[in-house]
Amino acid sequence: MNADFFTQLQRVSGKHRDIVGKVMKDVVHLFGPNFSLTLEDYFSQLESMIDATRLAPKGVAKLTGADLRERRERLMKGLAAVLEASTDEAIRSNEGCKHHRELVAHLKPRDTVISFNYDCVMDDALRRAGERKWSARYGYAFSRPSRVAEIGDKHWSPKDPAPNRQSTIYLLKLHGSINWQLPAAADGEIILKQRLHQQRGTPRFTIIPPGWVKRERNEPIFEDLWRKAERALRNAREIAVVGFSFTPTDLHVEAVVRLALARAAALKTLVIANPSREDRKRIRSVFSETLGQGTVVRQYDGFKEFVNALPECLT
């Protein structure tokens, strides 16, 4: 979604048309009608400009910190609209996403899914197909599961959920999620939103926008999730990298992965599902230290092909 965010944004219709128009007007005002920006580019530019406003004399700057923060808030609303549209397409049916359900069917308790997506397509598949092996209370791996509000836990768990931490699949959402409302207080209640649709005002969810690495370090919940992701990678013997590519702006992600792999034993199996030959090559390079003589490397063009090859492709 990062690279084609503004294309997706302009496809959003209905109740969100007003905010779509405002976000596009903001971008054109700053970068001109022929702008070439990713979501990450725009977030980073806004953050840098907000920080730089302290250098300008008050009353002189044409763009004040307040103006830029309003643009950032509108961008968050636009992001919520895009996520709502993409999530609707995948999960607002009677059965959800078939391929994600098939993936869940092959997962076992204590398997770990590391995700950088904000949407809830995987969450929905776990809720639908994760009987006895998924619990929202335990599976999101918050350090204190008792803080998760009961009503949200029930909504995002199957009817017969995993009973404890040792019995659940783990879904580590390292950039947050559109269904999370994390508290400001260290001991506050964690709300898992049942309704993903924005009704009025600024959307309330907890995500880390692209490029905001400092927030990952400064918020205890996210720092803990990143530690758990590093440990999961370090201890894994079968890894599937699906729909992800290492880019120059993913230096923090790549650093954590390389740190984990440097301390890991050789992999038994590495699976890569990505349509780009260059991306697959880059992934093999990052994982090269863990590719021993006996490591099996399998490659697929996409998520569907990967799921169709389960479970044999991970053996």
DSSP codes joined into one string, 140-171:
T--S-GGGB-HHHHHHHS-SS---SGGGS-EE
Nearest to 19 by CA among 112, 81, 62: 81
Mean pLDDT of the chain: 89
pLDDT of residue 62: 77
Q: What per-residue confidence (pLDDT) applies to 88?
A: 67
Question: What are the structure tokens assigned to 268, written together?
Answer: 């038994």
264, two tokens = 């890991």
Domain residue spans in the chain?
5-91
Residues 10 and 78 sit within 8 Å (Cβ to Cβ):
no
Assess whether pLDDT exceeds 70 at residue 89. no
pLDDT band at 251, cuts 50/70/90?
A: confident
- Residue 216 in this model has a pLDDT that exceeds 60: no
Q: Which residue has the tokens 């230096």?
A: 251
How far apart, in whole angstroms, are the C-alpha atoms of residue 270 and residue 288?
Answer: 10
Residue 252 has pLDDT above 60, yes or no: yes
Instruction: Determine whether 19 is exposed, middle or buried from the number of CB atoms within 10 Å of its CB (0-12, 13-18, 19+).
Output: buried
**Residues β-bridged to residue 180:** 192
Q: What is the separation of C-alpha 309 from the centre of its chain, rounded to a whole number of angstroms?
A: 24
- The pLDDT score that the predictor gives to residue 214 is 55
Predicted model pTM: 0.87
